A and B are shown apart, each in its own frame.
Chain A
Amino acid sequence: MKEFLMIALGVLIFVVIFQIAKASEYVSVLKGEEKTRKQNNKINAFFLLGFLIFGLIGAWYCNELYYGKTLFPQGSASVEGEKIDLMLWITIGVTGVVFIITQVLLFWFPFRYQQDDNRKAFYFPHNTKLELVWTTVPAIFLTVLVVFGLKYWFKMTNDAPGNSIVVEVTGHQFGWEFRYPGADKVLGRKNYKLTTGANSLGVDFDDPASHDDIHVSGTMHLPVGVPVKMVINSQDVIHDVGLSQFRLKMDAVPGIPTTQWFTPKITTADMKVKTGNPDYTYEISCDQMCGKGHFSMRGVIIVETMAEYKKWLAEQKSEYFTVHPEKAPAATDSSIKVAAVLQGNK
């Protein structure tokens, strides 16, 4: 019923507009088409000026409403992201000035130079000096932006620092898997043809390096203040590890592993205090369309102190023993043993 009323209302508005439009055409014939045209010209000139003024006010109002919801107020959660925020501010500054100047002129000129029978248009076909000025000035500003941009780009895409923790991130329809290399700091080999229900990542357990690797789903734990290098892959279609709070993302491509590193700066607990939001969570969003569950492909990152992180890691059971329980030492002390090995190596 509601839909029906809305359609009826729409049709009614339509008919009214049509009748007014037709009537205005007849009126213009009676009044003289030239006179009507000039009147319309004046009205539209005022509208253009009004659009400029209300548009600028609107842009300011929009900023009032939504600035607080962007990621700027909470700041970057990674050390590298601070540079991105700085770059954003510089770019907003430069483009903002250009935006205001050009839009003001674009709407002011039509108002100022609207048709007037007492004035003639000014014959001004070209001026080389002017054109050189507005070729050179944008080129200089863009050079500055490119230089800054590339400096940070190379920094962020460079090799991860030597003290980085390595975590393998694997995307699949529709979830995230994480593999930690364990005490030997080496991830075991993988071969996708070995994938089974139990060995869901296709780890090659003939490689001894795989025996202490730890596999967790959905939630990644990271210590604060230490760089982490993600080795990213996908099992099926292209996904993307989107870490908006850390200001970066990287695709997960089947068959072609990618890497990305960053240094978490603030623990989840501290961020809850900082934002005043007890539910604050670092989330991994899939940012590359991957099928019907794309919007639900959520992962969580918990950034914690080194002590908390080590404690958590120690509690995890290695995947080798989960997949081959018969090889595990007495079930009760397996985790203790792994934990002891881990502690010894740190």
Chain B
Amino acid sequence: MSSVATLHGADVHGAHDTHHEHHHHETFITKYVFSQDHKMIAKQFLVTGMIWAIIGGLFSVIFRLQLGYPDSTFPWLEDFLGHWAKGGKLQPEFYYALVTMHGTILVFFVLTAGLSGTFANFLIPLQVGARDMASPFLNMLSYWFFFIASVIMFSSLFVQTGPASGGWTIYPPLSALGDASSGSKIGMDLWLVSMAMFIVSALLGGLNYITTILNMRTKGMSMTRLPLTVWALFFTAVLGVLSFPVLLSGAILLLFDRNLGTSFYLSDIVIAGKILPNEGGSAILFQHLFWFLGHPEVYIILLPAMGMSSEILSVNSRKPIFGYMAMVGSLFAIAILAFLVWAHHMFVTGLNPFLGSFFVLLTLLIAVPSAIKVFNWLTTLWRGNIRFTPGMLFAIGFVSLFISGGLTGIFLGNSALDLHLHDTYFVVAHFHIVMGVASFFGMFAGVYHWFPKMFGRYLNNTMAYIHFWVTIIGAYLIFWPMHYEGLAGMPRRYYEFSNWESFKMFGGLNEFISLVAMIVFAVQLLFVFNFFYSMFKGRKVTTTNPWGSNTLEWTTPINPGHGNWVGEIPEVHRGAYDYAKDGHEFIPQNVPVGADETSH
């Protein structure tokens, strides 16, 4: 922390250029590659996440080609994929590999690392008033473990037997036995090793986030004055630190079963004509271990999006977030309940029905804090003076998707209905809307809102508006009709439906969905282009606080250096949401409380 110490002595009035002179010499490597500056690490997470998002999105476009046009061939696919698309037709093995990798990439590499990795790193020190994370070195390691995980996962795409193809949930015995699926050969080992690295990254990051929030808040920043983004990122980190190790243990046991002949998950199996010696294991044990992470993981993805949307909705409504304490309380309730509902993914595994009933109760209980959040967001908008920045539009879109996808959770959490709807397209629609697209909207909201702080420039508004409108309309066109497919019993993860009397009537709809998916994917490329173009050529930010926001990150220079503030870190005198108070449009957190000010 010696670099930080020198910053204290810097001239208070100096521009950020001056403080570079006080800073130790930075080379390209220490500034852009092995950086220990939380802001640079955040950008590394973001850019890596964006690359993964393009890959994962492209995979979905390719398998949507198969679902939308099962009778067509695409010769150019063979040029890219070789024997995996023999004769221009995607092979079932590779279809399942694409589905698996799409899920893995988007859940872990994009919406966990890319979303909370980016914004926890970027926002926590800036919003709590710290010069950097508690341990900048561990923070750097967190990114580089993520990078190693990325390299291993990416390399698994190129092994001869193909990447993992047992679904992102990798249930054994399918994932445990090479004879069960070609994707369960070396591709599966790479998947597990990559995830182990990923978990190390998540733990290093999470411990750092928690420590920073608890110990490094600036003077006056009590916990109840924290912006909701920080609260959400705090609960996210707690969820990750407590649940990821369980997945790690599950993954290690699976590696043992695969390679060392143990029988944790295997029993009574005859495969490819061979009678396996394994006895006494339980395939269901893995599902418990997996979903003990897997369900909190949903909230690890969702909570940061909730926190950022809360912040952005309040700033752009020019109104305090309604019910700050209720918002914190509901985040807390969701975080606790997230640990107690995992078996609702397992209602049809033969789970003890009595045990199942507890999971029904606890699952539907989550709807209560969720409802509080929705109503509080609505009340925040009520009688505001609302600006539609691109970030604001995405935050509104987030709430809309959270409502739509959250309500279908009430169907699936009720075990009797789950007996019918489990593993149908109803589930696909549900989790894509509430966890996938909604979290993406939170992430986009965050990028549009904090891009000026990250790069000192604005994203182009016209491209941003096109991006928003095509994406939200497209998302509903893709996922809304899938509920009907689910209510017709159509199972998910099917390569084609033409042999099924019960499911073959949705061919036209599937083609329509695939077409919209391609358009929505293309518009994401427009966003990526806008991102990199604006990074270098965008309109320059000319004021330190362009959105008129109260939080501390907007008290730093336009392009803050390592250490964030020139001179003293500002002292905090109030909560983050004093908008429209006493006739002032906004009162930043570092403004002392006036003598004539009302208290609430």
Contacts and interface: CB of A to CB of B under 8 A. Distances in A.
A122 B384 CA distance: 6
Interface in B135-194: 165-167, 171-174, 177, 180-182
A106 B378 contact: yes
B367 interface: yes
B215 interface: no
Given A44-B388, A157-B353, A258-B350, A244 B488 contact: yes
Given A122-B580, A126-B323, A235-B270, A146 B460 contact: no
A99 interface: yes
A255 B379 CA distance: 53
A83 B419 CA distance: 12
Given A106-B381, A154-B353, A120 B174 contact: no
A153 B349 contact: no
Contacts of A289: 96, 166-167, 171, 174, 493
Given A114-B386, A235-B270, A249-B423, A281 B96 contact: no
Interface stretch (B104-112, B124-132, B334-342, B405-413): B405-413
A146 B349 CA distance: 20
A204 B77 CA distance: 50
B499 interface: yes
A235 B47 CA distance: 45
A84 B462 contact: no
Contact of A110 (B271, B275, B396): B396
B365 A142 contact: yes
A342 B424 CA distance: 40
A21 B495 CA distance: 40
Contacts of A251: 348-350
Contacts of B414: 87, 91, 145-146, 149, 153
Given A157-B353, A236-B180, A288 B283 contact: no
Given A87-B416, A173-B271, A124 B383 contact: yes
A192 B166 contact: no
Interface in B417-470: 417, 419-420, 422-424, 460-463, 465-466, 469
A113 interface: yes
B96 to A, nearest CB: 6
Interface stretch (B14-22, B228-236, B355-363): B355-363
B484 to A, nearest CB: 4
B501 A120 contact: no
Nearest to B399: A106
A138 B181 CA distance: 45
A296 B499 contact: yes
A336 interface: no
Contacts of A288: 171, 423
Given A14-B526, A125-B600, A287-B423, A295 B496 contact: yes
A12 interface: no
A264 interface: no
A237 interface: yes
A143 B175 CA distance: 39
Contacts of A236: 173, 177, 180, 269-271
Nearest to B458: A25
Main secondary structure of the interface of A (DSSP, over half): helix
Contact of A71 (B177, B462, B487): B487
Interface stretch (B53-61, B288-296, B473-481): B473-481
Contact of A102 (B317, B367, B378, B461): B378
A79 to B, nearest CB: 14
A244 B174 contact: no
A259 B407 CA distance: 30
B259 interface: no
A149 B396 CA distance: 32
B364 interface: yes
Which size class do A's interface residues fall under? 35 or more
B500 interface: yes
A40 interface: yes
B568 interface: no
B448 to A, nearest CB: 13
Interface in A86-105: 87-88, 91, 94-95, 98-99, 102-103, 105
Nearest to B419: A248
Given A122-B580, A192-B275, A51 B472 contact: yes
A193 B415 CA distance: 35
Contacts of A20: 462
Interface in A165-180: 172-173
A45 B473 CA distance: 16
Contacts of B374: 102
Contacts of A25: 460-462, 539
Interface string B262-284: 00001111110101000111111
B480 A17 contact: no
B2 interface: no
Most buried by A among B416, B417, B501: B416
B383 A153 contact: no
Contact of B403 (A106, A255, A256): A106
B522 interface: yes
Interface stretch (A129-137, A213-221, A305-313): A129-137
A241 to B, nearest CB: 9
A254 B579 CA distance: 60
A245 B489 contact: yes
Interface string B525-543: 1100110000000010000
B326 interface: yes
Contacts of A248: 419-420
A40 B417 contact: no
Given A122-B319, A285-B500, A84 B522 contact: no
A116 interface: yes
B239 interface: no
A195 B580 contact: no
B423 A153 contact: no
A47 B469 contact: yes
Interface stretch (B202-210, B241-249, B502-510, B557-565): B502-510
Given A99-B407, A173-B271, A294 B96 contact: yes
A146 B356 CA distance: 12
B320 A124 contact: yes
Interface in B365-402: 365, 367-368, 371-372, 374-379, 381-388, 393, 396, 399-400
Contact of B424 (A3, A149, A253, A287): A287
A138 B180 CA distance: 46
B220 interface: no
Q: Which 10 A-B pairs have the closest CB atoms?
A: A244-B489, A255-B267, A258-B350, A157-B353, A122-B383, A149-B414, A66-B484, A21-B462, A44-B388, A295-B494
Given A69-B505, A142-B410, A255-B283, 7 more contacts: A91-B414, A122-B382, A138-B368, A153-B357, A197-B273, A240-B348, A250-B419
14 contacts: A21-B461, A88-B411, A109-B382, A125-B320, A126-B322, A130-B379, A131-B372, A153-B353, A195-B270, A236-B270, A256-B350, A292-B92, A295-B496, A298-B499
Interface of B: 74, 76, 91-93, 96, 165-167, 171-174, 177, 180-182, 266-271, 273, 275, 279-284, 317-326, 348-350, 353, 356-357, 360-361, 364-365, 367-368, 371-372, 374-379, 381-388, 393, 396, 399-400, 403-404, 407-408, 410-411, 414-417, 419-420, 422-424, 460-463, 465-466, 469, 472-473, 476, 480-481, 484, 487-489, 491, 493-497, 499-503, 505-506, 509, 522, 525-526, 529-530, 539, 577, 579-583, 585, 600
